[in-house]
Amino acid sequence: MTDMREDRSRAVLTLVCVSQFMVVLGVTVVTITMPAVQAELGVRTGDLQWIISAYALAFAGALVVAGRAADLYGRRRLFLAGLVVFGVASAGCATAGSAAALLAARAVQGVGAAMLAPSALAILVAAFPAGVRRTRAVAWYTAAQAVGGASGWIAGGIVGEHLGWRWLFLANVPVCMVVLVGALWIMRAGPGRLPAPNAQRPDIAGAVLVTAGMALLVLGLTQVGGPAAHWSVSVGLGGGTALLGLFAWVERRVQSPLLPAGLLRQRTLGAGLIVSMAVTGTTTSVLLLCALYLQDVAHLSATVSGLAFVPFNLAVVAASLGGPALLRGRAAGVAMTAGMVTIAVSALLLLALPVRGEPLAVTIPAFLLMGLGNGLAAVMAVTIGTRAAGDHPGAASGLLNSASELGVASGLATLVTLASLRTAALTGSAEPTAAEALSGYRWAFVGAALAVLGAAAGALHLLRRGARGAD
């Protein structure tokens, strides 16, 4: 009987990891193939960013609501519904005949991803009791998440160049079908099964406010440095902040708040949120700039550029799976800090990227270190964050995923803009040379190192205060 439960738990973990890999892959997978999408659908250069942003906006905006819905109405139900929405939207992306159709399908795909991400992590928490087994399961989940993000560069380069960009979306359809069938069977009576829906009245006002507020906030961040930055950043950041403030006011007055009372006051969850935001924000931005460097400065093909990220993926897996051994006693904060310091060192190593010469001699060791730091810090963030969830794993999962998405948006907004401003200061209105573009990238690498070190200090401070409070 025990062996059967173990097998079912492992099957649940496999389904959760596959779904999370697919969700995170969707954020970056089309980046390298943007020129092909532009040529086929006639997308204007200024509108290309929306193919990525449409997914991110819908994903980030719906995460908190989806996480709470998983707690109230059933994690399994939301997970299954998310698979259907994500699969159908992926088919819509693959068959889009116009830029408008692709943007609409990407937005729906983001909603499906928002339904999947928090419900998947909540199912994992329910499937594995607290302790070593859960920590190992979270390590696999984190590895799938991190590898999914980095694999976007690899899959986008190889599949996009040899099969076409539509296959990047079409491949999701059979995967969703397989996971859906597996979930219907495995989770039917296993650890992922959930109780009957909660009869509490839903917080509709809070749901609308937090969804709109998160979406506007991410919108504002993604428009920093863009052609219409002045009004869009002001509307996005100002409107998003105002709506989230109003959301906080509403939450204190409703009978059944969207975010359970006291959840955000948990210092361990706060530390997890800071680390999740910092890790995704810095590594995603640095990897994007490296992808641009490999193609625009080093003049490597999309396929070779994609393969350059393989060391990062391998290191993420190794660190994520080795991380649980460091969680004995109170070593979580130390291990998390070590991971973030490693990310900072890897970003500084990239300062040695040459204008001419062999870039892989620099990217391979830097990507290995960045992957090790990413995997270690991310698994610690999820582990300490979910410790504070109590009876609300869906809400906590939604917050952790929201922090990651805000990290991506804010990291791109600040670090990529920093690189652009540095390059523009050197070139004026002229086309930048390779050396001038690389100078901008180097400023961003230093900014990433400083940001991740600052976040590590803040998270460690919260953990120490939380430990003193517990004593």
Structure tokens at 139: 């390590």
pTM: 0.74
Residue 263 DSSP one-character state: S
DSSP-assigned letters across all residues of 267-312: HHHHHHHHHHHHHHHHHHHHHHHHHHIIIIIS---HHHHHHTTHHH
Cβ count near 198 (within 10 Å)? 12
What's the first-to-final CA gap in the chain, in angstroms? 39
Q: What angle do CA 50, 230, 250 make, to 5 degrees?
A: 80
Cβ count near 46 (within 10 Å)? 10
Residue 161 CB-half CA count within 13 A: 15
Among all chains, which residue has been given the structure tokens 């996005």?
A: 236
User: 313-344: string of b/e by CB count within 10 Å (b at 16+)?
Assistant: bbbbbbbbbebbebbeeeebbebbbbbbbbbb
Residue 39 DSSP one-character state: H
Quote the CA–CA distance of 288 and 367 in Å, as a whole number.
12
3-state secondary structure of 4: helix
Q: Domain limits of the chain?
A: 2-192+256-466
Encode the chain (471 residues) as per-residue pLDDT tens digits.
455 566 677 888 888 888 888 887 776 677 667 667 777 887 765 566 677 777 877 887 777 778 777 777 788 888 999 999 999 999 999 998 888 898 899 989 988 988 888 888 778 877 777 667 777 787 787 778 767 766 776 777 777 777 888 888 888 899 899 989 888 887 754 333 444 444 455 566 777 777 777 777 767 766 665 555 566 677 777 888 888 788 778 777 776 666 666 666 677 778 888 888 899 889 988 988 888 888 888 888 777 877 888 888 888 888 877 766 655 545 667 788 889 999 999 999 999 999 888 898 999 999 999 999 988 888 788 777 766 656 566 667 777 777 777 787 778 778 888 888 888 888 876 778 888 889 999 999 999 999 999 999 988 888 777 655 554
2-192+256-466: in CATH 1.20.1250.20: yes
